[in-house]
Amino acid sequence: MQSAHNLPGFGGGRAQDRPRIGVVGADLPRQIVLAADAVPVRLFGSWSGAVSLRASELLGAVDAVAGRILDAILAGDHDDLAGLVICNDSQANLRMFYVLRVLAERGEVPFPVQLLDAPRGPGTAKRAFVVAQYARLVEFCRAVTGAEVGFDDLRRAGDAEQSVVVALERLRERRVQSRCTGVSALNAYRTAACSAPEVAVAAIDDAQVSTGEGDRIFVTGSAHPDSRVYQVLESTGATIVAEDHDTGDGGWFAACTTGDSAADILAGLASLHADRPPSAARGTTAERVTALRRKVIETRGAAVMALVRDLDDAPAWELAAVREALDTLRVPFVSRTRITAEEASSASSDVVNALAVREGAYG
Amino acid sequence: MSENRLDTAAIATRYQKAWFAETAQRARDGQPIALVNADAPHEVLRAMGIPYVVNQWWASIISAKRLGPASLERLVALGLPDFSQQYDAIPLGAQDLPVEQRAWGGLPEPAFAIAERSGDVTQKIFELWGEREGTETFLLSRTGADPVPSAWWEKVPHDWEDAFGADRLDLLQAEIEELVTWLSERTGRTLDRDRLAQIMDLGNQQVEWNRRTRDLIATARPTPVLVNDTMPAVMVPQWHRGTQWAVDTARALHDEVAHRIDEGVAVCADERRRLMWVGRGLWSDLDMYRRFHEEFGAVFVWSMYLAIAADGYPRYGDDPVRALAARFVGFTDQLYVPPWSAQWYVKEALAHGVDGVVHLVADDTPGAGFISEALEAEGIPVLEIRANNADSRSSGSARIPERIEEFLRERVPARA
């Protein structure tokens, strides 16, 4: 294991002294922010807690997690940020960008807000658009940090982030080997996505909690912004071995690449983005089910669960196809839709009760 | 009040019925038709001779026939949600209703389903169309509204590069070219770019008539037409955009409105309150728009359909494919993205001299609060109602007429 203090350096000061750039959503390649000698800090929100009337009215009917993030921003919880990048990776996040753009112009939030609009998938035109978006992101980071972002900066940031990629691979392997619970993995992802690479690697490698012989569960459906539901599930003895949502294994934040120029690196990142696993909100159901099926087999998931939050509708449209695909694998599947904050725990318990894991699912 | 109905609306509705019957027959005879979302670049299909049915229009027909709930139940039977993006989803469910229950005899299976990836769900609905026998799906990217310079309605006709940004236009233009290739491979037809340029020109002529009509209604006192009449009178030709018939019908609407103004026609004889309807049409209860004439002297003088037809579509340029990309790259943004949306509704409210606004907030419209806030800042009271326009279950539980009555009594004083 590589220790944190041996990581390649990528910037000047200590992590705690660097500017912090907030991130809403899962499309940001941190390499760009790190190259500006800033620390990317993903804002996750949570399963529980009220959403204020103001946030609800500003965002309209969207996943409550977005409402909670907006509430935290409006309450000043993130006023230390130098800037905020919002990804167009879901309707809720795009709406948050539109709202915060207006509020930032009015001076109601103390930092500038930038959209990162990165349609996923193949195609030369799409790739060129994403590269242009990354170039805008470079300019944004330069503007908020004052740091130049050249080839050497991108290369050094990529080297540092590569250590996170490797640590994440170790984490995923430990989960498959029952050496890391879903709760500890999810918490590690949360910490890593809010930290400089050296801190991220340490947090990821700290996630080592032996699991029992309980049911091996794969999680799809809504992303889990915190480990609340995972705790309920794993308290029964089950283990969540993997997931496809973007706050867990489906996350992409540590993507990094090399090249002979800054333009090469941005193009390389766009290529990685094009080929990454699909998200519920932006991928097709066919892409999602294909990816899920492969991951369930790879991780030896014995059952699959999906909790879909109220107003996070994209996963709900996938459930019929997921069920059909898992039937062919003889893997049990339990889902609940339109889950509210109040229902999160009881819905998780329901899922536990409903899961009747059959032995020899792949026999 | 039947004497107040627009001849143009009746003519357009009859035309649409006949057109649909003919198109459906052609499809049943084996010719390919397309099902398209409202924000997709229809003009390409017209130029290639592929008839198309607009998903939202078809949803409105199904809904008006009170078949929305049954259509949504079919989705549930397939394990799909009935609580999500109903306006886009209802036609999918309706497709599996028994033949005798289908609106206008039903939509023949389309060969092509074409949509942009707006929101989180539309692409999944259209993907499901592509899993049906005989239908293939093509999805276009939908980029976010960035940048958003002020007063979009002044920029989009000619300065669309500035309004939307070259990057967004480059992407959609390239994807329209991909769509053309995709359609060519499947139909053997090629795109005649001169023909497309003519279609764009006809579309712009249609817009110009719609602008004149909108401006006439804005200044007319009392209001000479019902909004639920202008909806079909504008939207039916909108789905035939790029044809001479559509231009002629837009002109006929203008001439009929002008004549009514000259004759002093009033749809509400004792007009004391002028109302604006912000949001999609309440297809399941179109009579609702007239319900407040007698008791309150309250008349809806504005809906987005004529206004967006006037401001949203014009695109002048030498390259018809790029101009087409500019027509659709930010179409929804114009209506729904703040600050664009708020600026535009305020402009329209002031131009029409409204006394109150009923704002139907759908589940997929962002920044609704900014619209209401901007209108209120101009001294115009706003009633926000959260409901789905096409799902009568949702609009019923929202108590729309009752709440409008309360709104009129409590917040919208009658003019002297």
pLDDT at B309 over 50: yes
Mean pLDDT along residues B57-62 = 92
Mean pLDDT along residues B275-297 = 90
Q: What is the pLDDT of residue B403?
A: 95
DSSP sequence for A65-100 = HHHHHHHHHHTTTTTT-SEEEEE-SSHHHHHHHHHH
CA distances from B147 to A117, A148, A218, B160, B162 (A): 12, 24, 40, 11, 8
Residue A16 makes CB contacts below 8 A (sequence gap 6+) with: none
pLDDT at B332 over 90: no
Check whether the bond before A197 is cis (ω within 30° of 0).
no
Q: What is the pLDDT of residue A356?
A: 55
pLDDT at A63 over 90: yes
If pLDDT is split at 50, 70 and 90, which confidence band does B364 have?
low
CB-closest option in A99, A123, A323 to B367:
A99
Task: Please state the separation of Cα A199 from the chain's center in Å.
Answer: 17
Q: How far apart are CA B219 and CA B163, in angstroms?
A: 28
Q: Which residues of B19-47 are buried (b: 16+ CB within 10 A; e: fewer)?
A: bbeebbeebeeeebbbbbbbbbbbbbbbb
Residues of chain A with C-beta less than 8 angstroms from the C-beta of B168:
129
Q: Lowest mean pLDDT: which of A345-354, B94-103, B122-131?
A: A345-354
CB contact under 8 A, B120 and A57: no
CB contact under 8 A, A119 and B143: yes
Q: What angle do CA A229, A315, B366 make, to 5 degrees?
A: 100
Residue A75 makes CB contacts below 8 A (sequence gap 6+) with: none
Residues of chain B with C-beta less than 8 angstroms from the C-beta of A119:
117, 141-143, 171
Q: How far apart are CA B258 and CA A6, in angstroms?
A: 79
Q: How far apart are CA A345 and CA B320, in angstroms?
A: 55
Task: Please state the separation of Cα B408 from the chain's center in Å.
Answer: 27
pLDDT digits (tens, 9 = 90+) for B253-262: 999 999 999 9
Mean pLDDT along residues B82-110 = 95
Q: How far apart are CA B327 and CA B317, in angstroms?
A: 11
If pLDDT is split at 50, 70 and 90, which confidence band does B402 have?
very high
Locate tokens 């939509």: which residue? B107
Interface test with chain B among A99, A115, A124, A129, by most B beta carbons within 10 Å:
A129
Residue B305 makes CB contacts below 8 A (sequence gap 6+) with: B227, B230, B231, B234, B235, B238, B281
CB-closest option in A102, A129, A317 to B171:
A129
Q: What is the pLDDT of residue A198?
A: 95
pLDDT at A51 over 80: yes
If pLDDT is split at 50, 70 and 90, which confidence band does A362 have?
very low
Q: What is the pLDDT of residue B184?
A: 98
Q: What is the pLDDT of residue A11?
A: 46
Interface test with chain A among B86, B139, B146, by most A beta carbons within 10 Å:
B146
Interface test with chain A among B118, B124, B131, by most A beta carbons within 10 Å:
B124
Better pLDDT: A270 or B388? A270
As given in the structure block, the two tokens for residue B145 are: 């509204």
Q: Is A120 on the interface with B (CB under 8 A)?
A: no
Q: The complex's ipTM?
A: 0.93
Q: Is B373 on the interface with A (CB under 8 A)?
A: no
CB-closest option in B79, B80, B361 to A60:
B361
Q: Is B120 on the interface with A (CB under 8 A)?
A: yes
Q: What percent of chain A has pLDDT over 70?
A: 93
Q: How far apart are CA A344 and CA A339, in angstroms?
A: 6
Mean pLDDT along residues B378-405 = 83
CB-closest option in A117, A124, A317 to B121:
A317
Q: What is the pLDDT of residue B361?
A: 86
Locate tokens 């094009």: which residue? A274
Q: Which residue of A has its CA nearest to B147?
A: A115
Average pLDDT value for chain B: 94
Q: What is the pLDDT of residue B387?
A: 79
Residues of chain B with C-beta less than 8 angstroms from the C-beta of A108:
none
Q: What is the pLDDT of residue B160?
A: 96
Mean pLDDT along residues A62-66 = 95
Contact A65, A291 (CB under 8 A): no
- A146's torsion region: left (phi>0), alpha (psi -120 to 50) or beta? left
Q: How far apart are CA A82 and CA A101, in angstroms?
A: 15
CB contact under 8 A, B120 and A314: yes
Q: Which residue of A has its CA nearest to B85?
A: A313
Mean pLDDT along residues A354-358 = 62
CB contact under 8 A, B143 and A90: no
Q: What is the pLDDT of residue B394?
A: 64
Q: What is the pLDDT of residue A361?
A: 43
Residue B199 makes CB contacts below 8 A (sequence gap 6+) with: B43, B46, B47, B241, B242, B243, B320
Q: What is the pLDDT of residue A213?
A: 81
Q: What is the pLDDT of residue B395?
A: 65
Check whether the bond before A112 is cis (ω within 30° of 0).
no
Mean pLDDT along residues A163-175 = 97
If pLDDT is split at 50, 70 and 90, which confidence band does B1 have?
very low
CB contact under 8 A, B364 and A285: no
Residue B228 makes CB contacts below 8 A (sequence gap 6+) with: B281, B286, B287, B289, B290, B300
pLDDT at B135 over 90: yes
Angle between helices A314-329 and B122-129 (to 10 degrees): 50
Q: Which residue of B has its CA nearest to A125?
A: B171
The CB-side HSE value for B60 (13 A sphere, CA atoms) comes to: 18
How many CB pairs below 8 A link A and B?
118
Q: What is the pLDDT of residue A6?
A: 36
pLDDT at A2 over 50: no
Q: Which of B299, B403, B281, B309 is nearest to B354 (CA)?
A: B299
CB contact under 8 A, A317 and B80: yes
Q: Is A61 on the interface with B (CB under 8 A)?
A: yes
Q: What is the pLDDT of residue B391?
A: 64
Average pLDDT value for chain A: 92
Q: Which of A27, A22, A60, A56 is nearest to A39 (CA)?
A: A22
DSSP sequence for B160-191 = HHHHH-HHHHHHHHHHHHHHHHHHHHHH----
Residue B368 makes CB contacts below 8 A (sequence gap 6+) with: A57, A60, B359, B361, B384
CA distances from B137 to B82, B117, B149 (A): 22, 12, 34
Q: What is the pLDDT of residue A355?
A: 76
Write the single-letter amino acid at A13: G
Residues of chain A with C-beta less than 8 angstroms from the C-beta of B167:
129, 132-133
User: Is the torsion defined by CA of B393, B397, B398, B399 positive or negative?
Assistant: positive
Q: What is the pLDDT of residue B284?
A: 73
pLDDT at B2 over 60: no
CA distances from B316 to B107, B327, B329 (A): 34, 10, 15
